[in-house]
Structure 1
Amino acid sequence: MSNTSRVLTMWNTLSTKPGGRWAFSRAVCLKAPYFGSIRPHLDALAPEHARVSIRKRRAVQNHIGTVHAIAMCNMAEFAGGLMTEVTLPTTHRWIPKGMTVEYLKKAATDLSAVASPDGALDLATASDYRVRVEVYDKHETVVFRALITMWVTPKDRAAA
């Protein structure tokens, strides 16, 4: 059994083809429909790294015309979850346990989010894995920051 996740294999195959990154992003939204509202576009994916972008459009705006806080939370979870999925060995699984967020500036442009680990991954036992996500505006200013705690456990051998 390969230790490379199916998600990373699919990304590596599709991301090099015309329209492949868009198709991959849409496929993730079909699997987890709540992400569809922000229409995320995955720009980069590798172990310990993910970069996602969204366009500022009416559906993600609040009453003052900036990107809504919850849209940025969804963006952070999309990036952090995909990064975690391709970082963990296929013998383990994860689920978000909590998220702490900071709204630093008004998000008045298209946005990009970068996810990376915020600590070491301990596979010896079920444990927390912290993922840092920073969201940037088109001027590369950090407008939002999230720290997501993922609960990582070995997969049940009977279910695997």
Structure 2
Amino acid sequence: MDLTKLIQKASQSKFQLWKLNRILWIGIPFNKPHRFKIRTIEEGHALIDLPYRRSNLNHIKTIHACAMATCSEYVSGLVLGTKFDFKEFRLIMKEMNMQYHFQGKMDAFCEFFFSSEEFQKVEDHLRLNDSIDLKVEVLCKDSENNVLSTALITWQIKYWAKTKSQKSN
């Protein structure tokens, strides 16, 4: 399965987007109960819905901190995948720092942007170095656009050819 091609197709067709969501629920079984739904995906940008549903709630019936963190990781990883081919690059979340601002009492979403200029800087760095630790910021907002959380995530990006571990199929 070529995830890069699936993402590319999903940016152009609602059916392909529906298909990508189902494939990722199977391919990333940890995320399936959350029912995260990619609403928009294109090169350098994605928006993923985080539904207000029982599997995403904590003991006081607000969106669980871990659901926001997982959705933040998911959206940033997918966007980076639109820029860095998963066949050529290994992307691993190295560190995550979450800051919570408000309780989530309704549907929410996480959104992430990564510009062509940022991509070019990373690509230039990787021409001279084996890897890069890329720090990104992801906001999680409720359906009224209130910021619920801010995720500061460090992704390690490395050419598969320069890793010690083997690439999994």
Partner of 1:87: 83
Amino acid at match of 2:103: K
Unaligned runs of 5+ in 1: 1-5
Structure 2 residue 99 is the aligned partner of structure 1 residue 99: no
Report deviation, 1:32: 1.5
Distance 2:4 2:59 in 1: 38
Q: Secondary structure at the match of 1:156?
A: helix
TM-score, normalised relative to structure 1: 0.85
> Which deviates further from its counterpart, 57-66 or 87-96?
87-96
2:23 to 19, 22, 27: 27
> Which deviates further from its counterpart, 127-136 or 116-125?
116-125
Amino acid at match of 1:132: E
Structure 2 residue 145 is the aligned partner of structure 1 residue 140: yes
CA contact (8 A) 2:7 2:82 kept: no
Structure 2 residue 49 is the aligned partner of structure 1 residue 46: no
Report deviation, 1:18: 4.7
Give me the identity figure in percent. 23
> Which deviates further from its counterpart, 108-117 or 132-141?
108-117
Partner of 1:123: 126
Report deviation, 1:131: 2.2
Q: CA RMSD in A?
A: 2.4
Partner of 2:62: 66
Report deviation, 1:80: 1.1
Report deviation, 1:157: 7.4
Amino acid at match of 2:105: A
What per-residue deviation string (whole Å, max 9, x for no partner) do you get for residues 99-153 of structure 1? 0111110111101111234964232321101222101101111111101111111
Taking structure 1 as reference, are residues 146 and 157 closer, same or farther at Cα in structure 2, changes over 3 Å only?
closer
Amino acid at match of 2:135: R
Distance 2:8 2:63 in 1: 30
Partner of 2:53: 57
CA contact (8 A) 1:7 1:86 kept: no
Partner of 1:3: none
Distance 2:90 2:108 in 1: 29
What per-residue deviation string (whole Å, max 9, x for no partner) do you get for residues 5-62 of structure 1? x434213324544543232112112111111121111112223211100210111111
Structure 2 residue 114 is the aligned partner of structure 1 residue 112: no
Distance 2:18 2:37 in 1: 6
Instruction: Give the structure with the higher percent helix.
Output: 2
Q: Secondary structure at the match of 2:156?
A: strand
